[in-house]
Amino acid sequence: MVKYPMGHGPKKQIKLKRNKRINYGSRGMSLEERLNKSNEYYLSHNLAVIHKKPTPIQVVRVDYPRRSAARITEAYYRHASTTDYNGVYQGKYIDFEAKETKNKTSFPLSNLPEHQREHMLSCLDQGGIAFLIVSFSELDEIYLLPYQYIHQYINNNNKQSLTYDFIKENGYECPTGIFPMIDYLKALDEYLLENN
C-alpha cells in the first residue's frame, strides 16, 4: 500500500495509447541542446569535430557589483550570424543550421534568412557540405536536408515554405536515441554514400 502525504492519493491517472512513441531521453531539451550533446559524443569518440558557433555580440555596458559577479547589462549583435554549427567530418568541412517547427506539413522559408542561405551556398561553392537539420517536433522526426536541394527548390518554386513531403523525399532521417541523441552523422553518411 502506498501512503500519500496528507492522506491524498493521486488525483488523476494518466493513460497512454499503446502505439504512441515516447522519447523520455530528450524530454525538455531543445533541438540545439540535443545537437550539442551529440557533438560532444562525436568528439569524445573521435568521430567528428563539430562545434556550435557563438553569436557575435558587442558588449556595451557591464555592471561590476563585485569582480566575481560582473554581468553584461547591454549588448548588441555585431552582425547577423551565419549558421549554427561547423566543423570537420572525415576530412570534409561541414556547415549547418538547425531549425525546429511545430508545423506538421511544412517548414517556413522565413525561418531561413537570406544571409544564412548565402552563407551555405558559399560553403557549397568552396567544396564544403552544407545542410539544414529540420525537426518536426509534433511528428517527432528530424531530417538532414542538403542545402543544394533547398537552393534548387527555392529557384524552381515560388513558395514560402518547404513542404513536409519534399523534406521527407529529399532529406535523410536522423535516428534519435541516447548516444548520440541525434545521430545526424548516420544521415550524413547515407547522403555521402549516394552522392560520391
- Is 97 annotated among the ligand-binding residues? yes
Diameter of the chain measured on Cα atoms:
68
Q: 84: annotated binding-site residue?
A: yes
* Distance set, CA 73 to CA 77, 79, 80, 81 (Å): 14, 19, 20, 21
116 has binding-site annotation: yes
- E-strand ranges in the chain read 49-52, 57-63, 71-77, 85-89, 92-101, 106-108, 129-136, 141-146, 161-163, 172-173
Q: How far apart are CA 27 and CA 18, in angstroms?
A: 19
Binding residues: 82, 84, 97, 116
Binding residues for Mg(2+): 82, 84, 97, 116
